[in-house]
């Protein structure tokens, strides 16, 4: 049986007090950070915030898909819901700014899709729908 492995590295970048990072600055930081990791052929899981937190999630989601597609064995995104209810496809679509159907986002592409969701390979990014037993118990206690 394969054991999951974790890899930790320091991420470096720039920050400013008087402005946001530009798209190019963000791309360079993400590229340098991902290039510093040995991710080829590995399963990658990003924990991302739900819609109650502010961040440029659509931009980062697109960069992660663009830079890791075809390099990693699997690319998944798990929404950190805490005690919030699971997000439906419409809410996930708004969160990452690409169409989501059955928990699977459309592949990141600069070409137009004419409003339809392009065909995806089985290894495309996905949003797992399961909740842990402890999370279900916490939600039940709140009701």
Inside any domain, residue 122: yes
Is the model more confident about 91 or about 1?
91
- Domain assignment present for residue 15? The answer is no
DSSP string, 77-125: EEEE-TTSPPP-HHHHHHHHTS-EETTEEPPP-SS--TTSPPP--TTS-
Say if CB 66 and CB 111 are below 8 A apart. no
Instruction: Say what the pTM is.
Output: 0.65
Residue 5 lies in a domain: no
For 30-57, write each residue's pLDDT tens digit. 999 999 999 999 999 888 888 888 889 9
**Is position 8 within any domain?**
no
4 domain-assigned: no
Tokens of 123: 């290894």
Model confidence at 2: pLDDT above 60: no
- Tell me the two tokens of residue 30: 């993400």
% of the chain at pLDDT higher than 70: 66
**Cα pseudo-dihedral 18, 20, 24, 26, rounded to 10:** 120
Domain assignment of residue 124, given as a range: 43-142
Residue 70 belongs to a domain:
yes
Distance CA 107, CA 136 (A): 30
Q: Per the structure, how many domains does the chain have?
A: 1
**Cα angle at 133 between 128 and 137, to 5 degrees?**
120
* Residue 35, in any domain of the structure: no
């Amino acid at each position: 049986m394969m054991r999951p492995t974790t890899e930790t590295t320091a991420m470096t970048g720039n920050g400013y007090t008087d402005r946001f990072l530009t798209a190019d600055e963000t791309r360079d930081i993400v590229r340098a950070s991902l290039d510093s990791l040995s991710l080829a052929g590995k399963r990658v899981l990003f924990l991302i915030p739900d819609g109650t937190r502010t961040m440029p999630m659509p931009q980062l989601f697109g960069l992660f898909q663009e830079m890791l597609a075809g390099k990693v064995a699997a690319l998944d995104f798990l929404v950190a819901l805490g005690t919030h209810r699971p997000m439906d496809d419409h809410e996930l679509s708004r969160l990452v700014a690409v169409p989501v159907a059955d928990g699977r986002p459309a592949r990141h592409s600069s070409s137009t899709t004419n409003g339809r969701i392009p065909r995806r390979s089985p290894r495309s990014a996905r949003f797992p729908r399961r909740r842990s037993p402890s999370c279900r118990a916490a939600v039940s206690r709140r009701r």
